[in-house]
Structure 1
Amino acid sequence: MKTIKIAGVPEHFNLPWHLAIEEGAFEERGIDLEWTDVPEGTGKMCNMLREGTTDIAIILTEGIVKDIVGGNPSKIVQVFVQSPLYWGIHVGAQSNHKTLNDLKNTTTAISRYGSGSHLMAYVNANNNGWDHNDLKFEVVNNINGAVDALTNGTADYFMWEHFTTKPLVDKGIFRRISDCPTPWPCFVIAVREEVLNKNASLISHILEVINTYTEDFKDIPSIDRMLANRYEQKVEDIQEWLSITRWSQENISPIMIKNIQEQLALLNIIDHSVSYNEIVQNVTL
């Protein structure tokens, strides 16, 4: 049995991984897939890949592209979720901010630098014609830290996945002002190059298994209720989320990598681009 470490956010997108692990699908291939929940998100997972404390990360596309350009010795081996991520733009329930324009020149809570919440603040600023140089950040580590920051006023708004954050909106802790969808597929599967070089066949087996699960995921009986129960969501919210979410069994295209790097450069998030083959590796299935 070969142990492979994998990390991802504790969100509904990753239920196919948990079902495959619980049902022994990886063990049947001789793989002990050790899952670690990372509530801090993409910035933390980039560090874990760099440090070797995880072998695989289910990670936001823009975050890992930025970090690979910055020297992270990992490669994207497949898109995991093809559809965009809908980032809710949230303020504290008692906040005086009512519109997007009210948030100009205020402080945004981010899980950490290099995270999706950090990078998408730039995308949102660009969408609204704000000067990127005016953006201010407060590092809060995770969603609980964001609750504290927006409640006590050390930050003004927080961008996090719409449906994950909706229970806080329903409880009257956050108020959602708007949504900001990613202009690219939201989650990819990234693997450390050292692992790819030594265990490419194992990574191929892992992709084969997870692709089997994601292809049929929406057809699992009562999957909406299972997701709602596991992730403490309303069934109607999960049904809406399922209707707009598309998993992928393909790798990311060269044109998409080019477009992402161009957008990150436009936002001054990266200062140079690298070739497709420096970011992506195709694993033979």
Structure 2
Amino acid sequence: MTLRVGYVREHFSSPLLQYAEADGGQTFTLVECPSGTGQLISRLTNDEVDVAIALTDPLISGIAKGSEAYKLVGSYVTTPLNWAVITGKDSKYQSIPDLKDTTLGISRHGSGSQTMAFVMALQQGWSTEDLKFQVNNDIRGLIDSVNDGSTSAFMWEWFTTKPFVDAGEVRFIGSVPTPWPSWLIAAHPTRARADVLSTFLNTLSTYVRTFDSEEKRAKDDVEFIKAKFGYSEEDIKAWLKTVAYPNDCASIPATVISDTLGVLEKAGFIKSPEGGFDIAQFVNKDVVSLT
């Protein structure tokens, strides 16, 4: 079978894109999901992709809330994601505390932009029961919403949104790094065969290790990202200092799942069942090893 792999076309995806170019569609095809993890989860649910490389928190919270459309099968990025808090170019909001009791823009319900709003509220000491959201689908819709005043702010990855800040379309008023490693890999429990998944993950690991090497970071990674995404060399080098990838994509530290569940529960985004969560239920044990 040929896997349909959903992904977000951002700089984080560079090792995956390098793998895809070398593979030429023999073992997998890429399905771009510009709206982010909420769209990736929706496409897993609707049989539009078999595998998704997506943000840790929405993947884990989706399973915690009862989704059976996927299980976790691997790790992709081991460092936190730095979520920028972004407002309109002429808005009155100057800092995160100014956003209390306002309407925040999100891409979709269940997306990283929503789960991180709960984390931000937890850090600020706000009641998470009072959070108000407006769904704006993608980065363009989110930018339009903070500039037309229908939302106060939205959250998105720092370097992805920096070009819009540099162009004067929006402003940064703060940031909230994730309290967990930022990207995991999920797959449908029956559509994606274990042997095919294992081959995909093992080969992806080789591309990730190469991309993550000191030698490649010095020049080749910078040139690849510049060519693919058009970022400035300065921004690319700054991002590379903040990111790390796993040595083995087919393993997940159990603490990543348990710690993420703990923060999301404390933030009021999920509720623990009686007796607590069973971490083993979050993964496909035929594919991934919990470490």
TM-score category, normalised to shorter length? over 0.9
C-alpha deviation, 1:232, in angstroms? 2.1
Q: Measure how far apart 1:114 and its partner are.
A: 0.2
TM-score (norm 1): 0.93
Give the SS at the match of 1:193: coil
Q: Does 1:280 align with 2:283?
A: yes
Taking only aligned residues, the RMSD between alpha carbons, in angstroms, comes to: 1.6
In structure 2, do the counterparts of structure 1 residues 284 and 101 end up closer, same or farther at CA, with 3 Å as the change threshold?
A: closer
Question: Larger deviation: 243-252 or 50-59?
Answer: 243-252
SS of residue paired to 2:156: strand
Shift in Å, 1:162 = 0.2
Q: 1:232 aligns with which of 230, 233, 247?
A: 230
Deviation at 1:26, TM superposition (A): 6.8
By how many angstroms is 1:284 displaced? 6.4
> Counterpart of 2:180 in 1: which secondary structure?
coil
Deviates more, 1:97-106 or 1:86-95: 97-106
Aligned residues: 278
Distance 1:284 1:115, change over 3 A: closer
Partner of 1:208: 202
Report if aligned partners of 1:46, 1:72 keep a CA contact under 8 Å in 2.
Answer: no
Partner AA of 2:245 in structure 1:
W
Match of 1:21 in 2: 20
Partner of 1:261: 261
% identical aligned pairs:
33
Match of 2:84 among 71, 81, 88: 88
Partner Cα distance (1:210, 1:222) in 2: 18
Distance 1:62 1:223, change over 3 A: same
Contact 1:20–1:26 (8 Å) recurs in 2: no
Q: Give the corresponding residue for 1:46.
A: 41
What is the rounded CA distance, in whole Å, between the counterparts of 1:133 and 1:179 in structure 2?
Answer: 22
Q: Which letter does structure 2 place at the counterpart of 1:22?
A: E
Q: What TM-score does the superposition give when structure 2 sets the normalisation length?
A: 0.91
Give the Cα separation in 1 of the matches to 2:64 and 2:45: 13
1:140-179 correspondence runs (5 A): 140-179=136-175
SS across alignment from 1:263:
helix
- Structure 1 pair 239/24, CA: closer, same or farther in 2 (3 Å)? same
Tell me how far apart the structure 2 counterparts of residues 56 and 24 of structure 1 sit (CA, whole Å).
16
**Residue 23 of structure 2 aligns to a residue in which SS?**
coil
Point out where structure 2 has 5 or more consecutive residues left out of the alignment: none
Looking at structure 1, the residues matched to 230 and 154 of structure 2 have their Cα atoms a distance apart, in angstroms, of 20
**Deviation string for 1:84-112 (max 9, x for gaps)?**
00000011111111111111111110001
2:270 counterpart letter in structure 1: I
Structure 1 range deviating more: 253-262 or 91-100? 253-262
Q: 1:246 aligns with which of 231, 244, 247?
A: 244
